[in-house]
């Protein structure tokens, strides 16, 4: 195991451990502002993790809101039918989009680069229209309102504190899933990201690992969708608008696309910033834009990636062996 | 029968508008390899430039149209030089940079003009009545101007030395550079021309549809559909597919209804893409 791999596992594991705070937070404070921030960050991180899994394969997926909708609506329909068990809802919110991703993956994973981005963007648009065209199942433009909150061992998790707790828990599970998938298949994912043709020529079944990543990413997005629907008690098409993916992409790239810690830092920073400037809601999109622009131009590795590069350089300097900054994280 | 003719006329009118907006988008990708996520923003910017010039400065619509296109092109050129030029080789970076620019643009427009649509009306009213169909004069003027602009772009790209240099850059940047073609001149001008086309379309079309800060999102979505259908980077492909999309949209909205029609169109595009990722023309103009 290389030093880089050790460091990345450590960073990713610590980022997951740090997310325990999202679960603990509602238990130690009743401050509505803190709790509101906690649930927004939890949902943002979960969605960013779905982006991260695909980035590990060198693909930027715009389908995250679509899979969030599939998971969210699946949970809402089940809860409306009376099955409110938290574990069952989480399982369904993960499995339904993951299963949907298998045939979809067979179609879209043949594409790469810009074509993959375009097709996944179009699938988002299609799903929005499907939601509007299937009112008997999804409530159409009205969505599904008054979704019962999840319950566990007979307790209804309907208090504001419990709702935030569930959202934090979902985020933790989504992040652990991401950690397991990206670390277990790290060698294959990295090879595919670095040089797909060479990887394939070495006998690695690229399609298999791409499908695994796509299915895992879809399931994680589904969990994020479920967390959102459970928190708002409503599954509405506007919650999963195609352009919402821009925010999740911004979280990933501002934080640093190369590590899970980047997803956590990016989500936390941008969501906290949006809340800070809540009084100037019209400005928040522009502020995202400015931050994304600055990061892409000045810190192409994102905040975490740049910090890692500086730290590595500092270590190398201290050891009298200067390594050039790679800016690839 | 009357509705068939009517839908056909609407489809052709939509096709000319879509062609103009998509040619700019595909021009930028074909020459620079940049997916311009801000293209919808330039469309809206053109609309607001024209609105300001006509409503605040009282200029005639025709003059405002030309000035709006030039101003949008100048903004595009400047943005290319300051933000895009350095990162042209990186698809992902330029995509995210232009996405960020789009976000900044719509926020700036919202701060200046508000989030609600502004009252911007096309100066010519009335319509031409044929046997069983009618065409608003506004649509005829828009289609006419779009057609002239498309011909001008074709002339520029295929008949001038600048166009030859642009195509040489698109075909093989390294060889083109070795021949003395300087990308430092080519790219900003190409970006400026493409954004001017978006601005011109915005100035022309928003008085008929609506002028609001977020109006560019739907336009970008449409441009996506058209350019991937026609083949990324192919100007002729974009033009053909713009008319195909315009006609499909018109007929499906008449016979299937708005959102079902849009769904049918998206499904068709995805199917075509999955079978022929290089688009209907069948040539990969530039590697994605």
Residue A253 with chain B: CB contacts under 8 Å: 96
Task: Indicate the domain borders of chain B.
Answer: 2-275
For chain A, the straight-line distance linking the first and the last C-alpha, in angstroms and rounded, comes to 19
Structure tokens at B213: 């800060």
> Mean pLDDT, to the nearest integer, of A305-323?
80
Nearest CA to A49 out of A291, A240, A209, A224 is that of: A224
What is the tens place of the pLDDT at every residue in A11-42?
888 888 888 888 888 888 888 888 889 999 99
Q: Which CATH architecture has domain B2-275?
A: Orthogonal Bundle (1.10)
Residue A66 with chain B: CB contacts under 8 Å: none
Mean pLDDT of B236-263: 84
Nearest to B45 by CA among B75, B84, B80: B75
3-class DSSP assignment, residue A235: strand
- pLDDT at position A324: 56
Structure-block tokens of residue A217: 């990413």
Residue A107's closest chain B neighbor by CA? B274
Which pair of structure tokens corresponds to residue B122? 């096309």
Residue B45 has pLDDT above 90, yes or no: yes
A111/B103 CB distance under 8 A: no
> What's the rounded mean pLDDT across residues B133-155?
88
With a cut of 60, say whether residue A327 has pLDDT above it: no
Give B-chain residues touching A290 at CB under 8 angstroms: 100, 104
Confidence tier at B288 by pLDDT (50, 70, 90): very low
| A317 pLDDT more than 90 | no
Query: Chain A: nearest CA to B47, how far in angstroms?
Result: 20
Average of per-residue pLDDT across A265-287: 82
| Other CB atoms within 10 A of residue B206 CB | 24
- Per-residue HEC secondary structure of B54-75 comes to HHCCCCCHHHHHHHHHHHHHHH
Q: How confident is residue B109, by pLDDT bands cut at 50, 70 and 90?
A: very high
pLDDT for A60 equals 92
Token pair, residue B43, equals: 């469309």
Closest CA to A300 of A327, A260, A326, A265: A327
CA distance linking residue B281 with residue B242, whole number of Å? 13
Phi, psi of A245, rounded to the nearest 5 degrees: -60, -25
Question: Hey, of A127, A289, A295, which one would you mutate to test binding to chain B, going by the most B CBs within 10 A of its CB?
Answer: A289
Q: Is the pLDDT of residue B258 over 70?
A: no
Are B288 and A115 a contacting pair at CB < 8 A?
A: yes
Mean pLDDT, to the nearest integer, of B99-115? 92
The C-alpha atoms of residue A277 and residue A269 are separated, in whole angstroms, by 12
A294, A45 in Cβ contact below 8 A?
Answer: no
Give the minimum alpha-carbon distance from B274 to chain A in angstroms, rounded to a whole number: 7
More confident residue, A208 or B88: A208
Nearest to A285 among B87, B93, B106 (CB): B106
Convert the pLDDT of each residue in A128-143 to its tens digit.
889 988 899 998 889 9
- Degrees to nearest 5, angle at CA A24 with A22 and A27: 120
Q: Measured between CB atoms, which of A112, A125, A285 is closest to B103?
A: A285
Residue-level pLDDT at A221: 97
- Record: contact A118-B102, CB cut-off 8 A: no
Which chain B residues are closer than 8 Å to A110 by Cβ? 274, 277
- pLDDT one-digit tens code per residue, A189-234: 999 988 888 998 988 899 999 999 999 999 999 999 999 999 999 9
For the record, the structure tokens of B135 come out as: 């065409």
Contacts of residue B101 in chain A, CB cutoff 8 Å?
Answer: 289, 293
Chain B residues with CB-CB distance to A297 below 8 A: 83, 86-87, 97
Tens of pLDDT along A65-106?
999 999 999 999 999 998 999 999 999 999 999 999 999 998
B contacts of A60 (beta carbons < 8 Å): 92
Query: For A143-184, how does the pLDDT look when each residue is reduced to its tens digit (9 = 90+)?
Result: 999 999 998 887 888 888 889 999 999 999 999 999 999 999
- B270 contacts A293? CB cut-off 8 A: no
pLDDT band, very low/low/confident/very high, at A322 (cuts 50, 70, 90): low
The answer to whether B263 faces chain A, any CB pair under 8 Å, is yes
pLDDT of residue B83: 93
Q: Does A293 touch chain B (CB under 8 A)?
A: yes
How many angstroms separate the CA atoms of A16 and A172, rounded?
Answer: 7
| Model ipTM value | 0.85
Q: From the CA of A129, how many Å to the nearest CA of chain B?
A: 6
Q: What's the Cα-to-Cα distance from A150 to each of A89, A137, A158, A165, B275, rounded to whole Å?
A: 8, 20, 7, 11, 43
Name the average pLDDT for chain B: 86
Closest chain A C-alpha to B234 CA, distance in angstroms: 14
The dihedral over CA atoms of A95, A96, A97, A103, expressed in degrees to the nearest 10, equals 100
Position B253 scores a pLDDT of 80
Instruction: Scan residues 101-120 of A and list those with Cβ closer than 8 Å to B.
Output: 107-108, 110-115, 117-119
Q: Do B277 and A122 touch (CB under 8 A)?
A: no
A·B CB contacts under 8 A: 111
pLDDT in tens, A37-60: 999 999 999 999 999 999 999 999
| Contact with chain B for residue A241, Cβ under 8 A | no
Tell me if B96 and A253 make a contact (CB, 8 A cut-off). Answer: yes
Residues of chain B positioned with their CB less than 8 A from the CB of A126? 263, 266-267, 270
Instruction: Yes or no: say if A123 and A115 are a contact pair by the CB < 8 Å rule.
Output: no
Task: Provide the chain B residues 79-118 that lie in CB contact (below 8 A) with chain A.
Answer: 83, 86-87, 91-93, 95-97, 99-104, 106-108, 110-111, 115
B260 inside 8 A of chain A by CB: yes
- Separation in Å, CA of A236 to nearest CA in chain B: 17
- Cα–Cα distance measured from residue A219 to residue A239, given in angstroms and rounded to the nearest whole number: 18
pLDDT at A2 over 70: no
d(CA B179, CA B168): 10
Backbone conformation region of residue A101, classed left if phi is above 0, alpha if psi is from -120 to 50, else beta: alpha
């Amino acid at each position: 195991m290389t030093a880089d791999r050790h460091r990345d596992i450590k960073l990713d594991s610590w980022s997951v451990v740090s997310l325990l705070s999202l679960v603990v937070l509602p238990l130690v404070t009743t401050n509505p502002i803190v709790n509101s921030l906690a649930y927004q960050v939890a949902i943002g991180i979960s969605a960013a993790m779905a982006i991260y899994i695909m980035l590990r394969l060198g693909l930027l997926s715009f389908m995250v809101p679509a899979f969030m909708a599939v998971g969210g609506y699946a949970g809402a329909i089940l809860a409306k039918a009376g099955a409110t068990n938290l574990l069952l809802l989480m399982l369904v919110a993960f499995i339904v989009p993951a299963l949907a991703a298998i045939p979809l993956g067979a179609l879209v994973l043949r594409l790469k680069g810009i074509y993959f981005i375009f097709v996944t963007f179009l699938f988002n648009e299609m799903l929005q229209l499907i939601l509007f065209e299937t009112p008997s199942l999804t409530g159409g433009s009205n969505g599904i309102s008054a979704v019962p909150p999840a319950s566990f061992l007979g307790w209804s998790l309907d208090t504001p504190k419990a709702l935030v707790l569930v959202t934090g828990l979902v985020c933790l599970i989504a992040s652990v899933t991401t950690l397991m998938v990206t670390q277990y298949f790290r060698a294959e994912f990295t090879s595919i990201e670095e040089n797909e043709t060479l990887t394939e020529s070495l006998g690695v079944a690229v399609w298999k690992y791409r499908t695994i990543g796509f299915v895992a990413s879809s399931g994680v997005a589904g969990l994020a969708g479920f967390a959102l629907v459970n928190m708002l008690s409503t599954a509405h098409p506007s919650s999963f608008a195609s352009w919402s993916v821009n925010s999740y992409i911004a979280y990933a790239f501002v934080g640093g696309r190369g590590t899970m810690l980047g997803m956590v830092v990016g989500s936390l920073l941008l969501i906290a910033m949006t809340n800070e400037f809540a009084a100037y809601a019209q400005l928040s999109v522009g502020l995202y834009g400015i931050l994304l622009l600055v990061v892409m131009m000045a810190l192409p590795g994102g905040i975490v990636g740049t910090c890692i590069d500086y730290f590595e350089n500092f270590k190398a300097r201290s050891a009298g062996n200067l390594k050039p900054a790679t800016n690839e994280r | 029968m009357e509705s068939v003719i009517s839908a056909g006329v609407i489809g052709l009118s939509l096709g000319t508008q879509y062609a103009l907006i998509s040619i700019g988008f595909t021009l930028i990708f074909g020459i620079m390899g940049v997916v311009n996520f801000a293209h919808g923003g330039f469309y809206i910017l053109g609309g607001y430039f024209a609105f300001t010039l006509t409503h605040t400065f009282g200029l005639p619509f025709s003059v405002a149209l030309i000035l709006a296109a030039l101003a949008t092109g100048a903004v595009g050129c400047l943005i290319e030089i300051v933000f895009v030029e350095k990162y042209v080789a990186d698809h992902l970076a330029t995509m995210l940079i232009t996405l960020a620019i789009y976000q900044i643009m719509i926020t700036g427009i919202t701060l200046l003009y508000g989030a609600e649509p502004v009252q911007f009306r096309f100066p010519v009213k009335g319509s031409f009545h044929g046997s069983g169909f009618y065409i608003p004069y506004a649509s005829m003027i828009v289609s006419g101007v779009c057609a002239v602009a498309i011909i001008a772009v074709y002339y520029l790209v295929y008949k001038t030395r600048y166009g030859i240099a642009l195509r040489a850059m698109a075909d093989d940047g390294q060889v083109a550079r070795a021949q003395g073609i300087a990308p430092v001149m080519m790219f900003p001008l190409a970006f400026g021309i493409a954004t001017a086309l978006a601005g011109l379309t915005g100035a022309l079309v928003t008085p008929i549809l609506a002028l609001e800060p977020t109006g560019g999102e739907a336009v970008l979505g449409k441009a996506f559909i058209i350019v991937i259908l026609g083949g990324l980077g192919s100007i002729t492909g974009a033009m053909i597919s713009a008319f195909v999309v315009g006609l499909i949209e018109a007929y499906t909205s008449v016979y299937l209804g708005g959102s079902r029609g849009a769904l049918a169109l998206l499904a068709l595009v995805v199917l075509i893409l999955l079978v022929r990722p290089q688009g209907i023309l069948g040539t990969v103009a530039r590697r994605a």
